[in-house]
Structure 1
Amino acid sequence: MNKYFEINRIKEGLRTGKLVVNGLELRTPLLVHSADVIQYLRPGQVRTTNTRALYYDPVILAEKLRKKDLVDLPDLHRVLGWQGIFFTTSGAAEIGKLAKPRGYKTNGVNFRLPNQGQLISLSPKKAIQLQEQSGADITEQLYRDVNYYAPVDDLAAAVELTGHWYATNQDTLFPITGGGLKKLHRQSIDSVTGQRPFGYFVTQTDQVDSLAEIKRNLAAIIKLLPFESLRVTKTTANFEQLITVIRSGIDVVYSDVAVHEAVMGNVLVNKGKRLDFTRESFSDDWETIDSECQCPVCTSHYSRAYLHYLARINSPQYTSLILEHNLFWLNQFVANLSSKIN
């Protein structure tokens, strides 16, 4: 697979770069939205928001499609006609909820999808193959997921098993585990021997309960990583957390912020401020969401009063329209952060 990453500039921790995958050039820091956006928008609509990359979890996808096995997953590029890039998780976080402790073996993990009953034996190699089969352009090595605040012995066991599963493959992201413990971070990174992976996925960020702890933990991990390697992590559906990890020096962030806020009925404007158009004050407001926004919704001159009407009648079109705006707005916000150091 044709892909490479290079760093352009760095300032106060935040860095910009270029990620090229199969001829498609993506600027970093890159916000990778959840593939859940396809539930509300057509792929072509998603692209008009300047979204070029989506991520998905193969285990959650199998559950949604009611598949009995991960081998039954379709190629999402073909099914959706998606012309951008697909990142995928290994499914480790979801598997951690489905597998029993004794399901983890030196050669992989055994688990069952909900309500199916069929035992799935997933090796690290097979996990990557299934990600590629389902359309992933950038894959992630399987790892044992435990909570960030788990006992030290559990964190250490997860690091040891994840390191044991490492197989030299320059096309994958290697998962860094170990909670907030520097010793375990170093052990996790040192388990990569021989040829380095394409990049590193910092796990557990979405489990941390404070922005200060996220900053501390990422700073400690980043000091141990090869400078030139791609850095990836996943956040919760929280705008402030998203910005914190980007400013910490992460290159690619998986985020559900856009779709989460849209489903909650919130529209993002002005440094993350949220507007709720169900409020009666918008019933006679004929302005667009944001007069300076160039998203498909604002440039089509949909008024706040119209969006208020859609919100009050619970129209599904309301979620679709504000999701288009949120995607565009977030992509532009991240682009503006990058422009400050270019």
Structure 2
Amino acid sequence: MSKYFEIERSKNGLRAGKLVLDNFQLATPLLVHSGRVNHYLLPKQVWETNTRALYYDPVIFAEELGKKQLSDLPNLRQLFAWKGALFTTSGAEEIARLAKPRGYKANGVNFRLPNEGQLISLSPKEALQLQEHLGANISEQLYRAVDYYAPVDDLTAGVELTNRWAINADNSLFPVTGGGLKELHRKSLASLEGQFGYRITQIEQIDTIMEVKRNLSTVIKMLPSESLRVTKVKANLEQVIAALSAGIDVIYSDVAVHEAVMGNVLVADGKRLNFDHAHFANDWGPIDQNCGCPVCTSHYSRAFLHYLAKTDSSQYLNLILEHNLFWLNQFIIKFRSQIN
């Protein structure tokens, strides 16, 4: 089956569509959760929260497994027996932390993994091949990651090298860089036209919601209307909402895990509950009377969650993560239904 993106309806700059990837059809807007969910839940549990897509960073994945070479990484789909869609980043942001400035070359980048691995020379083509090996349905082209607030000269150098690395590759996302500077965005987009999709980078580095909205709005106006729009935001609901409101089609975010690790449970209107608080000790209701998640429908009470929180049980994080994943997926579905 061919891979394609199709806009089905739009309203005031927002759009609802479908993303067809091999055997998967995903409705957009779509929130793609971090593969970190597999640290805490079985893939079957993740699936039961209506999660249909996960994203991974191959360099972080290699660090977690203690690999010395990226080529030693296993296929993600086989490893986790995951039957949903897989998105991958190029690892560019983590590589920027590991590579020395002189490691960036016209034909790729040289860096070492922190576990004293051999020197890795990664070309743009090899970055895409690596993601294909991992089982990605949607991959991302390699780019030179620079901090959003870096000096103009550094941002310019990042755009120029990223453009030099650009590849005409089907079904991969082209990275749009340039910090918050419109002229650099234009320069970033000048190298290729008519791409399947674009990843607007650096958004998760931005300090304020207002600047997130401004930057996304500026870049989106420059993108081909028929192409897929993708970005990665900070692990907070406010940035997710800002990206949705800007008209982004696919959002990568670790918000579900982040909130669960903090002990927070997402409920109506994006409010957060933390069952460590004493007033939940005798609360026998579910997290949310109207929630259809595996936790709420299993009749686990707030009092029980309080008990797990107070006894530092690992089950507390697992259960509230299940709820958070389901809640976020339902939130996206409701948002999409309003685009008509």
Q: TM-score range by the shorter chain?
A: over 0.9
**Aligned residues: CA RMSD:** 0.9
TM-score, normalised via structure 1 length: 0.98
> CA shift at 1:197, angstroms?
2.6
1:319 corresponds to 2:317: yes
**Matches of 2:128 and 2:81 in 1, distance apart?**
22
Q: Deviations over 1:282-317 (max 9, x none)?
A: 000000000000001001110000000011101101
Contact kept? 1:2, 1:23, Cα under 8 Å: no
Instruction: List aligned pairs for 1:239-278, cutoff 5 A.
Output: 239-278=237-276
Q: Which amino acid aligns with 2:35?
A: A
Match of 2:71 in 1: 71
Match of 1:203 in 2: 201
**Matches of 1:192 and 1:230 in 2, distance apart?**
14
Match of 2:8 in 1: 8
Match of 2:287 in 1: 289
**Matches of 1:117 and 1:49 in 2, distance apart?**
37
Q: Which runs of 4+ in 1 moved over 4 A?
A: none
Q: Which amino acid aligns with 2:41?
A: L
Q: Which amino acid aligns with 1:311?
A: A
Instruction: List aligned pairs for 1:1-342, cutoff 5 A.
Output: 2-193=2-193, 196-342=194-340
Identity over aligned pairs, percent: 66
Q: Deviations over 1:247-306 (max 9, x none)?
A: 100000000000000011100001110000001100000000000000010011100000
For the residue of structure 2 that corresponds to 1:6, the secondary structure is: strand
For the residue of structure 2 that corresponds to 1:330, the secondary structure is: helix
Q: Which amino acid aligns with 1:222?
A: I
**Matches of 2:10 and 2:242 in 1, distance apart?**
16
Unpaired segments of 5 or more residues in structure 2?
none
**Number of residue pairs aligned between Structure 1 and Structure 2:** 340
**Matches of 2:220 and 2:195 in 1, distance apart?**
15
Contact kept? 2:67, 2:117, Cα under 8 Å: no
Contact kept? 1:108, 1:124, Cα under 8 Å: yes
**Matches of 2:12 and 2:51 in 1, distance apart?**
26
TM-score, normalised via structure 2 length: 0.99
> CA shift at 1:134, angstroms?
1.2
> CA shift at 1:198, angstroms?
1.6
Contact kept? 2:261, 2:317, Cα under 8 Å: yes
**Matches of 2:53 and 2:243 in 1, distance apart?**
18
**Matches of 1:116 and 1:137 in 2, distance apart?**
31
Q: Which amino acid aligns with 1:165?
A: W
